[in-house]
Chain A
Amino acid sequence: MTKEELKAKILEVIEAKVKKGGKTKVYLKDIQRDIPGASPREIKNAANELVREGKLEYFSSGSTVMFGIPGVGIGVEEAFKKEE
């Protein structure tokens, strides 16, 4: 798998999870489970590159970090804005 293929695959995996409902923020682990062909380190590097390209964003609870597609699902900051 080339890096570009891996990046496309990562987006595919996250989009599929969103479509299935429930989950819009995923851990690296969740992505790894669905892409057994790539090593965790390759997946990490590719996912982080997607963030640099603006195609993914981080979601941090402070103690852990997840990945999500910008604008999809709940960002806590948006949730706060909603309350106003």
Chain B
Amino acid sequence: MADEKAIERLKELWNKYEEVDGKFKDEMDPIFQEPYYPDVAEKLYNPQRPMENRITDIGPPYFWQFMPPIIQKNFGKWKSHQIIQPGVIKRISETGDVVYVVRCGTPRLETIDYIREICDIADKYCGGYVRWTTRNNVEFIVDSEEKLRALLEDLKNRKHPNGSYKFPIGGTGAGVSNIVHTQGWIHCHTPAIDASGVVKSIMDEIFEYFGSHKLPAKTKLALACCLNMCGAVHCSDIAIVGIHRKPPFVEDDRISAVCEIPLAVAACPLGAIRPATVEIDGQKKKTVRVNVERCMFCGNCYTMCPAMPLADGEGDCITIVVGGKVSNRISPPRFSRVVLTGIPNEPPRWPTTVKWVKHILEVYSKHARKYERIGDWIQRIGWEKFFELTDIPFTEKCIDDYRLAYTTYRTSTHFKFTKHVKTKLEDYFIKK
């Protein structure tokens, strides 16, 4: 509990923060040494006067204070690196210092006890420092081979009650990365599919590729539970996107009470929503109507108006996109492309999605050359060849009809003869 003295100390610590403008460099902000007082806020915060003693606009803690001394010392002096085994990167500084970075996959959705366990490990081996990567991996940094061996042994043996690894080691080099993903059914209001469950199902199945270097190149996976695509799903080697397939409901009796109608109308990128009036129990009510012919199921209307839900257990499905990348290495960054859609939404293990992802990965692994990302491989062999090798049924859904669609059509006679090509005109027609 916070007594008067503790409250005084907090005030002094705030003064100290202001003195250095938050830029703690040689020492960490002493506020973190102070225990957490669960009752301070109730004692000091006055809901009637929220601006009293308010601290705002201070930003995140200054990054320098959270970096271990050996990193501070070698900041900007790193000379080279070697991945000595999957998940372990040895980094060598021009000062002669060496660190070993151990990369572990995490589920991203976790509890604070899991974070505390990460802290325990970091305290034991890493002097109390740890970092995360952009792709939801946690990195433990040690400064000797001896600590490295002990750490690796320790990590291997940490398991959840039902046997899953807490900290699988990998995510480096020519393997699959951890899957960047979104919230899904655990915490979002617009998803078509779950996120964490699909990710777990896929990673369980392709686990060996996370902890090894046997693919032709790095393969980045991502998942977005709806078209909002929180994360760089649209530029991933293989990605999963949840999509809706039914136009939104319009709750006539409720819409004018919970939505600003003009905002709902303005939300539609295709102008498919117009204002309307209906009569309910003899009363005229303002509402909207959706031109379902023009609806592309993006969900923007629902984002602006809760009385236009479009999620549907039966209709919502999964799309797989492939061949995107963000790195400039060899070829420029490029978008992922839709190769499969209408895959059923199958909790709790999503077997069809998992099967296709693994299959695409393995066909790629078998046929691509060293250093070729999935998109580079497809660029070389041609999309028609990709569809043939993977046995993915090509459908009209893979042909673009949105903005700039024309740029994706074939304008040359440069194509390969795959099983899709016929020799007689009559064979090209859809057989009824």
Contacts and interface: CB of A to CB of B under 8 A. Distances in A.
User: Do A and B touch directly, given a CB cutoff of 8 Å in the complex?
Assistant: yes
A63 B300 CA distance: 10
Contacts of B260: 22-25, 73-74
Most buried by B among A22, A25, A66, A73: A22
15 contacts: A22-B260, A22-B261, A22-B262, A23-B262, A25-B260, A52-B51, A63-B228, A73-B260, A74-B257, A74-B258, A74-B260, A76-B258, A79-B257, A79-B306, A82-B257
Say whether chain A's binding surface is mostly helix, strand, loop, or mixed: loop
Interface of A: 22-25, 52, 61-63, 66, 73-74, 76, 79, 82
A76 B262 contact: no
A24 B263 CA distance: 10
Given A23-B262, A63-B303, 20 more contacts: A22-B261, A22-B262, A23-B263, A24-B260, A25-B260, A25-B263, A52-B51, A61-B303, A61-B304, A63-B228, A73-B260, A74-B257, A74-B258, A74-B259, A74-B260, A76-B258, A76-B306, A79-B257, A79-B258, A79-B306
Most buried by A among B258, B261, B304, B306: B258
Nearest 6 pairs between A and B by C-beta? A79-B258, A25-B260, A23-B262, A61-B303, A22-B262, A74-B258
B259 A62 contact: no
Contacts of B259: 74
Contacts of B257: 74, 79, 82
Contacts of A25: 260, 263
Given A25-B263, A52-B51, A62 B258 contact: no
Contact of B303 (A23, A62, A76): A62
Interface in B207-264: 228, 257-263
Contacts of B306: 76, 79
